[in-house]
Amino acid sequence: MSGWTLRTRLTVLYGGLFLVAGATLLALTYVLVQHSLTGRFESSTTVGGTPTGDDPPSLSYSSLGDKVRADAMHTLLTQGTLALVAVGVVAIGLGWLIAERVLRPLHRITETARRVADRNLHERIALTDPRGEIKELADTFDSMLERLDRSFDSQRRFVANASHELRTPLAINRTLLEVALRRSGAPPQVRDLGENLLAVNARHERLIDGLLTLARSEQSITMRDPVDLADIARHVAEQNGAQVTIDLAPAPTAGDPILLERVAQNLVQNALDYNTVDGWVSVTTATRDGRAELVVRNTGPRIPAYEIPGLFEPFRRLRDRVAHDGGTGLGLSIVRSVAHAHGGDVTARPREGGGLEVTVTLPPAGSPQTS
């Protein structure tokens, strides 16, 4: 019974209890009727006396009573069993229908939970059934969703507001440094310091831009335009010139074009940043099993398989990549967040000989996840 659904288990339980109760009632009726018939025939035999010598032995009151009683009990047993089976089948059918009606609110809760799992925290069950255990469960679930929704909205607003507030002083710093470096009388030490400060400032700007993108991608996707991952990948590859090879087949999907372009940019930039000298980066798109697919491969250092899941966490990088100061540690986490927001997924695996292969899969255009 471990593989049975709750509806099946309830139906079997209901039908089993009905059959047990019916069988008990039939057995009790059988005993009572047998006792009643035995008493009546014994009373009739006592009152009527013994048969005369002219009566044939086969028609004696005693033997006749036994035969009638046996036939009656046999009929009661067979007909009662058939009636019990027939009514039991009807009861099991009614139990199946009643179980579906009783479990309908649970199906509604499950559907809502499934939509919430797709990052739609604005969903509510709003069950209108009379008060009861299931209504209490639905209301508790709605209350939990309300608190989660407020918490996530507060977190996203904080990240967005903090990032916007930090952009202003960084822009001012960049302007001041550029003005200082343009002065003709600036000594070489000042120029070196200014260039280093500009590089640090640029890294901080990239970090803030990544935080903004991450906060935006974790929200519900409201813009779902038809796009082709092949067009996006071609545009991103052209920006990087001959460093990237492409093999692009149509991969139609639907979503936010800007966020999906950011996915391709992050994957390609990550593959270029963490590559070997004279290494290569390839980008392919295709439609596989009805889903749009984007795959980015590169050469590079060997990556242990157990360290790959950590690459998709914010600010997490491989130990041998910490020395690389060009990244922010948000690239792959943004890729995962955008893919999940579009109803897709992202996986990565190490390549033989070194490097990484990252695969992004998205639902096709027109599917429930993209409509």
Token output for 333: 């986490």
Name the least confident of 149-153, 174-178, 364-368: 364-368
In this predicted model, what pLDDT tens digit does every residue of 246-302 receive, in sequence order? 999 999 999 888 889 989 999 999 999 888 888 899 999 999 999 999 999 999 888
- Cβ-contact 337, 265 below 8 angstroms: no
Cβ neighbours of residue 318 closer than 8 Å, sequence gap 6 or more:
303, 307, 310, 311
pTM: 0.55
Domains and CATH numbers, the chain: 6-117 (no CATH), 225-362 (3.30.565.10)
Average pLDDT, the chain: 81
Using DSSP bridges, classify how beta strands 244-248 and 281-288 pair: parallel, antiparallel or unpaired: parallel
Mean pLDDT of 62-80: 80
Question: Tens digits of per-residue pLDDT, 332-347?
Answer: 888 998 898 888 999 9
**Please, what's the largest Cα pairwise distance for the chain?**
153
Note the pLDDT tens digit of each residue in 176-212: 888 888 887 778 888 888 888 888 888 778 777 776 7
First to last CA, the chain: 38
Lowest mean pLDDT among 49-53, 78-82, 145-149, 355-359: 49-53
Listing from the earlier edge strand, what are the strands of the sheet with 244-248? 244-248, 281-288, 291-298, 356-362, 345-350
**For residues 355 and 300, what is the distance between their CA atoms, to the nearest angstrom?**
4
Q: Above pLDDT 90, what percent of the chain?
A: 19
For residue 247, give the nearest of 305, 194, 309, 294 by alpha carbon.
294
